Amino acid sequence: MEKCIVCEEPRQHGIHLYTSFICTSCEEAMIHTSTKDPVYKHYVKQLRVIKESKILS
């Protein structure tokens, strides 16, 4: 089980984007959410962690 970066819950099924995991439920919800929907901003905020570097120096 991995922690979804959107709902922050441990899930078994989903996709990997770079080093991040998005569960199937959140993926489906994001695909069907209009950009005018208030929850869209939440998805964008949560997805910003994907571009953060995970490399420790």
Tens-place pLDDT, residues 14-55: 999 988 999 999 999 999 999 999 999 999 999 998 876 666
Q: H/E element holding 15?
A: strand 14-17
- pTM, two decimals, is 0.82
Please tell me the predicted confidence (pLDDT) of residue 49.
85
**3-state secondary structure (DSSP) of residue 7:** coil
